[in-house]
Structure 1
Amino acid sequence: MELSMQYGLAFPYVDAHTLVELAQEAENVGWDGVFYWDGGGTDPWVALTAVALHTDRVRLGTMVTPLPRQQPWKVASEASTLDHLSQGRVILPVGLGVVELERMGIVKDYKIRAQMLDEGLDIVDRWWNGETFSYDGVYYQINEVNGMPPLQRPRIPIWVHGSDKQSQLRRAARWDGVKLSGTADQIQQARQTIMAQRTTAAPLDIITEGQTSGDDPEQAAATVRPYAQAGVTWWIEAIWDTPQSTGGIEGMRTRIQQGPPRME
C-alpha cells in the first residue's frame, strides 16, 4: 500500500512580517500547509492574508479558531475572503478553545461552548452557500442575511477537534476533517468510529500534531509512518515551543528548512 501524507507547520505567535518570511521558506522546501495561532495579539486572518499574497501553493489556516469565542458570521466572511485571495487554499480548523486560558470573560461552561460551536458551524456552512438565510438558535439569531461563498466548493474544508468523547466523534463525522491526538492505534480506532457514523462519501482528513527530528530523516520517517498507516492524512509539525526552547526564530527557521518528514 502506497502511503501518502501532507505536512503542515503550526506556528506560535510571531509578528506578521516574520510569519510571511517563514511561510515563504516553508513553501520553498516542500511543506504543504501553514497554520497560525489564533489566540489573541496579531489578527490571524490579516496575517494569513499577507502570507497568501506572498505564496502560491501552501494551504493556509488557523490552529485553531475557538469559534464559540467569536462571531461565526465574521469568521465565515474572513475565511471566504481569504479563500478568494489565495485562490482556494484555505482550511478552517475550529474547536472549543481552552477555557483555562481565557481572559476575555466569555462562557466557560464546556457543554454550552460545545452547543455554541455546533450552532456556529451551522451558520458558517450556511453563510458559505451564498444564499439569503435566517437562523434562530439558542445562542445565535440572524435575520435574512446574504452570505458569501468561498472559491472552494462545496465549502472550505472544516476541521474539528476530536477526542475519545462520543459527542466530539459525532461532530467530526459531519465535517471535513478531525484533529486527533494519541498513538497511531488510538487514532485508527477513533477514525473507524467516526467513519461508521459518517453519512457522506466525501473524503475525511485525519490530522495529528507532533514533532520530528529534522536532523535525522530516517527517524522522522519512522515517526510518521505508523500514523500514515493508521489513516492520518495531515501531519502538523508542532513548533509551538521552538522560539523558547531551540534558538528563537532562527531555531524555527532551521527546522523549517530541514523540510517535512518524508516517508520515501
Structure 2
Amino acid sequence: MMRIARRAEELGYHEVWTFQRLLYPRGHSMGPVYRSVHDPVVTLAYLAGVTSRVRLGVAVLNMPFASPALLAKQLTSLQLLSEGRLDVGLGLGWMREEFVASGVPFERRGRRGEEFIHVLRRLWSEETVEHEGEFYRLPPVHQDPKPAVAPPILLGGSAEVALRRAGRLADGWISASSENLDRIDEKIYIVKEAAREAGRDPEALRFVTRAVTRVRPSDMPGRAPLTGSFEEIRQDVAQLEAKGVTDVFHDLNFDPEIGSPDADPGESMYRAEAALEALAP
C-alpha cells in the first residue's frame, strides 16, 4: 500500500482509492477478488501518514453498517490527520448477509441513508446536535473536534432514485465497477438534472468512475473500454472525460492476471507498477 501510494504521489496522481467489503458469504458468486479486503478507514489513515499531497478516497463506505456518530468521528479524525485530503464515498449496501451481521434491516435503505447524511453533516458543522429521526436518535450532544473543512460526500448507486439522490444531496456520484461506461453519460445527465431541480449547480459536482482496467495487447477485437494497450486505455480515459466523468481511478483488482489469489504476487506488483507509470496523468 505504501509503495503504490507514494509512487502515485511522485507521479502526480490526484488521488488514491480503496473500497469496503465487510464480509464474503460462503460460496458467493462475486468471485475471490472480494474475499480479502482491508478496512478502508484504517487503510487510508495509514496512507495519510506516509504521503503528503495525494488525496485519499473510499468508494464506498456503506452507511447502514455504522452509526452516523461513529463514522463522523472516524472521518473527522482522518480528515484532520491528512490535512484535508479525504474524499468520502457513501453507499447503502446491497449484500443481505452484511446487513444481518450488522443488525440492521435491509428495507428502507434509501430513507436511512438520507437521514444518515443529514446527521453526519450536522455533527461536522453544529456546536450542539439533537436529533430524533426515523432511524437515528441523538440527545443534545457535542462532537469535537470538527473538520476545518468537511470532506466531500460522494454517493454511489446506479438506480435512478440513487442517481437523483446524489444530485440532490451529494458533492458527486461514484459509479460501480460494473457500470456500462459506453452509456455513463446518461446517468451523469440524471444526476445533473436532479441537482438543477434542487437549485444546485450541476457543474460543481464530481463524477468518479471506478475503472476496471485490464492491460492487454492492442487492437483486440471487440475490446471493452479500459481493456487494451496503455495508449488505448489513455484514449478511453479521454473519452470518459468527454462524457462528463471528472475522476477516473484505475482498479487492477478485477484483472484475474493481477488480482486473483492464484496470481504470482511479485508479477502482479511488477505489472501494477508498470501500469502506474504508463497511465500517470
**Deviation for aligned residue 1:62:** 2.1
Decide which of 136, 148, 153 is 1:158's aligned counterpart: 153
Which amino acid is 2:210 matched to?
E
Q: How does 1:1-264 map to 2 (within 5 A)?
A: 19-40=1-22, 42-102=38-98, 104-109=101-106, 111-147=107-143, 148-152=145-149, 155-163=150-158, 165-173=159-167, 174-181=169-176, 182-184=179-181, 186-198=183-195, 199-201=199-201, 203-213=204-214, 216-241=229-254, 242-244=258-260, 246-248=263-265, 250-252=267-269, 254-259=271-276
In structure 2, the CA distance between the partners of 1:137 and 1:58, relative to structure 1 (3 Å rule), is: same
State the one-letter code of the partner of 1:71. Answer: S
Equivalent-residue separation in structure 2 for 1:233 and 1:254 (angstroms): 26
Structure-1 separation of matches of 2:238 and 2:13: 17
Structure 1 residues 122 and 183: alpha-carbon distance in aligned structure 2, compared to 1, 3 A threshold: same
How far did 1:190 drift? 1.6
Q: Match of 1:235, SS?
A: strand
Structure 1: 5+ residue runs without aligned partners?
Answer: 1-18
Letter in 2 for 1:176: D
Structure 2: distance between partners of 1:248 and 1:101: 30
Asked if structure 1 preserves the Cα contact closer than 8 Å seen for 2:59 and 2:174, the reply is no
Secondary structure, aligned partner of 2:249: strand
Q: How many angstroms apart in 2 are the aligned matches of 1:214 and 1:57?
A: 27
- Give the TM-score of the pair, scaled to structure 1: 0.81
* TM-score after normalising by structure 2: 0.76
Count of aligned residue pairs for this structure pair: 242
Does the aligned pair in 2 maintain the 1:34–1:60 contact within 8 Å?
yes
Task: Report the alpha carbon displacement of residue 37 of structure 1 after superposing the two structures with TM.
Answer: 2.9
What is the CA-CA distance between 1:42 and the residue it aligns to?
4.3
Which portions of structure 1, spanning 4 or more consecutive aligned residues, are displaced by more than 6 angstroms? none
Q: Distance in 2 between matches of 1:122 and 1:260?
A: 40
Structure whose alpha-carbon radius of gyration is higher: 2
SS in 2 for 1:159: strand
**C-alpha RMSD of matched pairs (Å):** 2.5
Instruction: Report the secondary structure of 2:125's partner residue.
Output: coil
SS of match in other structure, 1:64: strand
**Aligned sequence identity (%):** 26
Alpha-carbon distance in 2 for matches of 1:213, 1:260: 15
Letter matched to residue 196 of structure 1: E
Deviation at 1:252, TM superposition (A): 4.1
What whole-Å deviation, never above 9, does each CA across 1:11-48 have from its counterpart, x for those lacking one?
xxxxxxxx223322222233322222322474432321
